[in-house]
Chain A
Amino acid sequence: MWFLPNASGNLPGAFRVLLAACLTALLLPALGCRPAAPRADLTIANGAEPESLDPAMLTGQPDGRVAFAMFEGLTRFNAVTGAAEPGLACAWDISSNLLTYTFHLRTNLVWSTGEPLRADDVVYSWIRILTPEVASDYSGNLYYIRNAEAFNLGKIKDPAQVGVHAPDPFTVVVELTNPTPFFLELCAFHPQLVVQRQVVEKYGDRWLKVRPLPVSGAFELVEWRLEDRIRLRRNPRYWDAANTGAETVDILPGNNATAALNLFLTKQVDIIWDKNLIPSDLIDVLRLRPDFHFFDFLASYFIRHNVTRKPLNDVRVRQALSMVIDRQRLVTRVTKGGESPSSHITPIGIPNYTPPEGTPYDPPGARKLLAEAGFPNGSGFPRISYLFNSTREHERIGVEMQAMWKQELNIDVELRSMEWKTYLRAQSDLDYDLSRSAWVGDYTDPNTFLDMFMSDNPNNRCGWRNPEYDALMRKANGSADSAVRERLLQQAETLLIKTDNAITPLFIMAGFNMFDTNNVEGIYNNLRDMHPLRTVRKVRPPRKD
């Protein structure tokens, strides 16, 4: 053995010890691993680990996808369109003033554990999310119900005063404060999902640990190991169980787009359905593949202007800044995923609403406005910064816009990249000049994008308070005539994005998912990016005979 310094002796003891160490290293894995469970019918890369599966607590899209599989509301999302269709309720009546909804429950409803599911359970679940102590992030989604807000804020103590009642075991009556055209869709959304009273009251915050867990939806929770997998099994007692597509489903958490892609390419994963799991650098190649699907998504990417700070308190400066942004360039050079450049914040495709145009791309006009504001050719313009949370894509968008502002207006905008929570805090404290922002709609209506800019909304976060805007929004939401409502909302949006230019919309985000249509069926593209698990199934191999 020429490579050993001295070939005279046997293998020395040191190396024997080390060899043993190496062998142990190889054997250890065998000891440390759990026996592999049989593979599920469907394996899905679902994005970030859910923070919670409790409908009252969860906030994220990945959390929601699992919760929708386990729990159902009075309505449920249609797999094709994402619109509301009968769920636990098989029918409903709406009063002529659009303020009272009477839901008729199916009579054959049972929990997965066998107990009957009745109207009381629905009322309990809704009241639960409004209970101040539960402190649900999404309780605001029920404020359209009479007295719900007052109860949630503790001004009313008696839940019986809230406008949701069960006159008999199969009827739920809901009274609203305003005609709310999107209310049926809200009834399918996660804050209104129906959970079982006994188990929640008995186990408190740890009720999701109970096995078997009583669920109202198409799938039961078998196992939930953090950052590892969630195993779901078909709930045979679900009212529509006959149409459930898969017996078992594994939901894999993960934030690493490359890992998800590798798993998909090696067929370990059947579906990737979280947009964060699509590597943005590869979208231009992936788009050409038949197993890659993209569609318009009910979400908007925009800039908040801090209107309380100089020089952004001058509307001309805000308009000048937004008029030099070449949105087309952003989506073709940076995001590349089929996003539509947009000067308005509400996405196209919302029924009964055509969004108005915002500030156009007009660099000469922008230079003129900037000069009028006292900064001819950018001279004397103070150093401002663009705040974003540090991800590669936000950074690239920032870098592009920085170059546009420099080139067209000759002003220096510093990029301020921040860690997530610091970024959120800076934004809500108005400690920024310009800030990257995005918003995903909760329901298919302009209101979900527009009401957050009302003066007292905690999500306003740009310091912009306009009484005219507030009045328009209130008037619109009080109107029962959809044409009148549309016109009022358009006026409000124009005020927001053009006249006052408190925000600068950049583009409408795109939704993506990956699955091979020869392998999986039952996933349809829709604006809500809503793909109910119950309809997803493996394509059956063609019969041999």
Chain B
Amino acid sequence: MYFVKRLIALPPLLLLISLLAFMLVRVAPGGPFDRERKPATPEIERALRAKYHLDESVWKQYLRYLGGLVQGDLGPSLKQRNHSVNDIIAQALPVSATLGLASFCFAVGVGVPLGFYTAVRRGHWTEMIGTFYTLLAVCVPALVVGPLLVIVFAVKLGWFPVALWTSPLHMVLPVITLGFYFSGKIARLMREGMLNVLPAEFMVTARAKGLSDFKAWWRHGFRLAILPVVSYAGPMLADLLTGSFVVEALFQIPGIGSFIVNSALNRDYPLITGLVLLYAFLLIVLNLIVDALYAWLDPRVRYE
């Protein structure tokens, strides 16, 4: 029932977000058609604005936008003028989603075991290595990691392509670059969650009952320990699925992350509003899934 209610609340929430985004981008100075080289007369700029209805009142523009939205049309892009927002999303989202999902798996696949290990082997010298990795991951930005990986594994060793997006091999370096940072974050959260449950009474009991350390940790501890990671996973997956500006720029990947940043910088009003809506939709749905996961992982969580 609770989750049904949340689903019903989704459309009005999206409406609110679209309104806020719609207004916010129009407050920013500069317009989509401002260029270094202005047209010969101001009339041309005026005609251009009229063509895209930017000369109307903001409310009228918004209603017009909603009208299109109802029919599933997110409008034209004002920067990529031969493409509509729908075209752009249809082209770029699959790319970003693939990259994002793979990076998510990498981040979880590395981060969770690492966090687990550094928690249960606390104080051991190998933990120091794990901790060092996680801090390196959160401190050294993709801007540094990506080029280093490219020089070593693509230019010097020639194992992987340096950039572009055509074969599975092209994905390896971007996935590592993007997943590295998140793996560090997940490892820290996982370690903390694990440290919290390790001394708990039920864990001691379980071990007293003769379960091996590992079985006790897994059967009783893991599902509680992973809660902080789950909390973080919602927003993280939404971020990852909608791409990364830096990694896409480093590897020339035709994903959606570069459009999110550039549409804001270009004041491409319909594109930014459309992308915000897409992102909001993903975020809210993922957070809903996260909340459902909570209740499943920890039966004590109640929402009503």
Q: Are A14 and B116 in contact (CB under 8 A)?
A: yes
In the assembled complex, the Cα of A438 lies from the Cα of B172 at a distance in Å of 40
Residues 80-97 of B contacting A (Cβ, < 8 Å): 80-84, 87-88, 91-92, 94-95, 97
Query: B133-167 vs A: 1/0 string, CB under 8 Å?
Result: 00000000000000100100011001001111111
Residue A167 CB within 8 A of the other chain? no
Query: A244-263 vs B: 1/0 string, CB under 8 Å?
Result: 00000000111110110011
Residue A543 CB within 8 A of the other chain? no
Main secondary structure of the interface of B (DSSP, over half): helix
Q: Which residues of A have CB within 8 Å of B175?
A: 25, 29
Nearest Cβ in chain A — how far from B273, in angstroms? 16
Q: Which residues of B have CB within 8 Å of A30?
A: 168
Q: Which single member of B76, B91, B92 contacts A205 (CB below 8 Å)?
A: B76
Residue A140 CB within 8 A of the other chain? yes
In the assembled complex, the Cα of A14 lies from the Cα of B108 at a distance in Å of 12
Q: Are A133 and B47 in contact (CB under 8 A)?
A: yes
Q: Are B39 and A458 in contact (CB under 8 A)?
A: yes
Residue B71 CB within 8 A of the other chain? no
Residue B209 CB within 8 A of the other chain? no
Q: Are A438 and B254 in contact (CB under 8 A)?
A: no
Q: Which single member of A137, A149, A206, A226 contacts B35 (CB below 8 Å)?
A: A137
Binds A, one of B6-14, B245-253, B284-292: B245-253
Residue B41 CB within 8 A of the other chain? yes
Binds B, one of A110-118, A399-407, A422-430: A422-430
Q: Which residues of A have CB within 8 Å of B163?
A: 254, 256, 259, 262-263, 268
Q: Which residues of B have CB within 8 Å of A266?
A: 154-155, 158, 161-162
Residue B215 CB within 8 A of the other chain? yes
Q: Are B81 and A57 in contact (CB under 8 A)?
A: yes
Residues 10-24 of A contacting B (Cβ, < 8 Å): 12-15, 18-19, 21-22, 24
Residue B302 CB within 8 A of the other chain? no
Known: A18-B113, A226-B91, A256-B249. A459 touches B98 (CB 8 A): no
In the assembled complex, the Cα of A2 lies from the Cα of B81 at a distance in Å of 61
Residue A475 CB within 8 A of the other chain? no
Q: Which single member of B88, B150, B251 contacts A226 (CB below 8 Å)?
A: B88
Q: Are B165 and A137 in contact (CB under 8 A)?
A: no
User: For residue B110, which residue of chain A has the nearest CB?
Assistant: A22
Q: Which single member of B29, B112, B116, B259 contacts A425 (CB below 8 Å)?
A: B29
A to B CB contacts below 8 Å, 18 in the list: A25-B104, A25-B179, A32-B94, A33-B171, A36-B167, A132-B47, A140-B39, A153-B43, A226-B80, A226-B83, A227-B255, A259-B252, A265-B155, A422-B30, A424-B36, A428-B38, A439-B36, A457-B40
**CB within 8 Å of B: which residues of A?**
3, 5-6, 8-9, 12-15, 18-19, 21-22, 24-26, 28-34, 36-37, 49, 51-54, 57, 59, 132-133, 135-140, 143, 149, 152-154, 205-206, 208-209, 224-228, 252-256, 258-259, 262-263, 265-266, 268, 419-422, 424-426, 428, 438-439, 457-459
